[in-house]
Amino acid sequence: MSLALHIKASLELPTFIVNGYLEDLTNDDLFVRPAEKMNHLAWQLGHLIHSEHFHVTAVYPGTMPELPSGFKERYTAETAASENPADFHSKAEYIQLMQEQRQGTLNVLSDLSDEDLQKPSPETVRYLGPTIGCVFAGEATHWMMHAGQWAVIRRNLGKPPLY
């Protein structure tokens, strides 16, 4: 199995988990915080979508679908405290953007060889690992880390455990 196929397979689980966790949540549910002073789900979704766009673009500029104008600015450390739904997107918008960015990631990944994925990662995203492959694989970990918080939110909302 090539590195690209292995990374693609590792991205399938967080996609499945995230879609399952979001399926029965309402727009209002996205503003529940897993614990006091933690980021609500709406902010986390925007952060994850922007991060995936940023990470892949840092490695291969111009390859990802564009995000809406001002998207990055809506998901900063300063905006995380907002409880105003008008400051964020709807669940449907998050799902669409999430799917577009993931498809962009998979499209870029499909064109990469094992040699490409073993090249050094750019300094701006080196926190994900020393190679380009680590940057792509880091998306799976990042999404799963946040999805773990959503399991808590779901339980606090009285939703059944899914996995």
Q: Phi/psi at 131 (nearest 5 deg)? A: -120, 165
* H-type alpha helices, the chain: 3-23, 41-59, 91-110, 114-117, 132-156
Residue 161 lies in a domain: no
Where in the sequence is the domain holding 33, given as residue range(s)?
3-156
Q: What pLDDT, on a 0 to 100 scale, did the predictor assign at position 76? A: 95
Q: What is the pLDDT of residue 152?
A: 95
Phi, psi of 13 (to 5 degrees): -65, -50
Inside any domain, residue 122: yes
Query: How many angstroms separate the CA atoms of 148 and 34, rounded?
Result: 10
Please tell me the predicted confidence (pLDDT) of residue 105: 98
Whether 130 is in a domain gets the answer: yes
Residue whose pair of structure tokens reads 């979704």 in the numeric block = 45
CATH number at residue 87: 1.20.120.450
Domain count of the chain? 1
Asked whether residue 163 is assigned to any structural domain, the reply reads no
pLDDT at 58: 98
Dist. CA 30–CA 88, nearest whole Å: 10
Does 22 map to a domain? yes
Residue 149 confidence (pLDDT): 95
Please check whether residue 76 lies inside any domain of the structure: yes
Q: What is the pLDDT along the chain (163 residues), one digit of tens a residue?
A: 899 999 999 999 999 999 999 999 999 999 999 999 999 999 999 999 999 999 999 999 999 999 999 999 999 999 999 999 999 999 999 999 999 999 999 999 999 999 999 999 999 999 999 999 999 999 999 999 999 999 999 999 999 999 8
Domain assignment present for residue 136? The answer is: yes
In a domain, 24, yes or no: yes
The CA-atom distances, in angstroms, between 4 and each of 65, 92, 99, 113, 139 are 20, 29, 19, 7, 13
- State phi, psi for 39 to the nearest 5 degrees: -75, 135
| 57 and 49 Cβ atoms separated by less than 8 Å | no
